[in-house]
């Protein structure tokens, strides 16, 4: 992860802080207990339980470092700062696929909060990046994995 700002909502920040706290307090203890138990089995040179626990410990420590860096570089976007004249980060947008007639509703979020199942798409995704800066009525093309699609912005909300 680069040293650039990480865009987040207050809710996203709270979730990442809770995740970090869980890793530091709960998960570290769990893996330490697994390592201790594996050592009690004897020879650690051929102990798969020990190896698995050490690998999990390394993963958890890496996640802690990533979350700490992310939180250090967090830039909180408040609803009050969301522009509705043009699509910007944290806008709620409705677009129309002009070929299929399908409407899509989503919120543009930072990559750490992206969750397509909650209709939150990253500002770095093909559609998220393409729609940024467009106003209601604007039409534009987007290259997506299945080909090019032509979209029209129908609405922008906070």
Q: What is the pLDDT of residue 61?
A: 97
Q: How sure is the predictor about 3, in pLDDT bands with cuts at 50, 70 and 90?
A: low
Look at the chain and report how many structural domains it folds into: 2
pLDDT at 83 over 90: no
Rounded distance, CA 52 to CA 59, Å? 11
Q: Which of 21, 18, 17 is nearest to 29 (CA)?
A: 21
**Chain mean pLDDT for the chain:** 90
Q: Are the C-beta atoms of 50 and 44 separated by less than 8 Å? A: yes
Residue bearing the bigger pLDDT, 45 or 7: 7
CATH number, domain with residue 33: 1.10.287.180
Is 55 part of a structural domain of the chain?
A: yes
**Does 150 lie in the same domain as 89?**
yes
Compute the half-sphere exposure of residue 80: CA atoms within 13 Å on the CB side of its CA.
2
pLDDT at 143 over 70: yes
16-65 pLDDT, tens per residue?
999 999 999 999 999 999 999 888 877 777 778 888 999 999 999 999 99
Q: Where are the alpha helices (DSSP H) in 8-125?
A: 10-22, 28-40, 48-72
**Does 147 lie in the same domain as 83?**
yes
The range of the structural domain enclosing residue 18 comes to 6-76
**Does 147 lie in the same domain as 101?**
yes
Host H or E run for residue 128: helix 126-131
């Amino acid at each position: 992860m680069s040293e650039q700002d990480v865009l987040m909502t207050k809710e996203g920040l709270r979730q990442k802080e809770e995740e970090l706290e869980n890793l530091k307090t709960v998960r570290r203890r769990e893996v330490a207990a697994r390592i201790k138990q594996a050592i009690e089995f004897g020879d650690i040179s051929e102990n798969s339980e020990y190896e698995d626990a050490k690998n999990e410990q390394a993963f958890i420590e890496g996640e802690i470092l990533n979350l700490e860096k992310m939180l250090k570089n967090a830039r909180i976007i408040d609803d009050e700062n969301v522009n509705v004249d043009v699509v910007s980060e944290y806008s709620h947008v409705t677009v129309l696929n002009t070929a299929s007639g399908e409407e899509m509703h989503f919120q543009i979020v930072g990559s750490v909060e992206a969750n397509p199942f909650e209709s939150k798409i990253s500002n770095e995704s093909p559609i998220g990046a393409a729609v940024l800066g467009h106003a209601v009525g604007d039409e534009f093309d987007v290259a997506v994995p299945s080909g090019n699609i032509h979209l029209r912005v129908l609405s922008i909300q906070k």
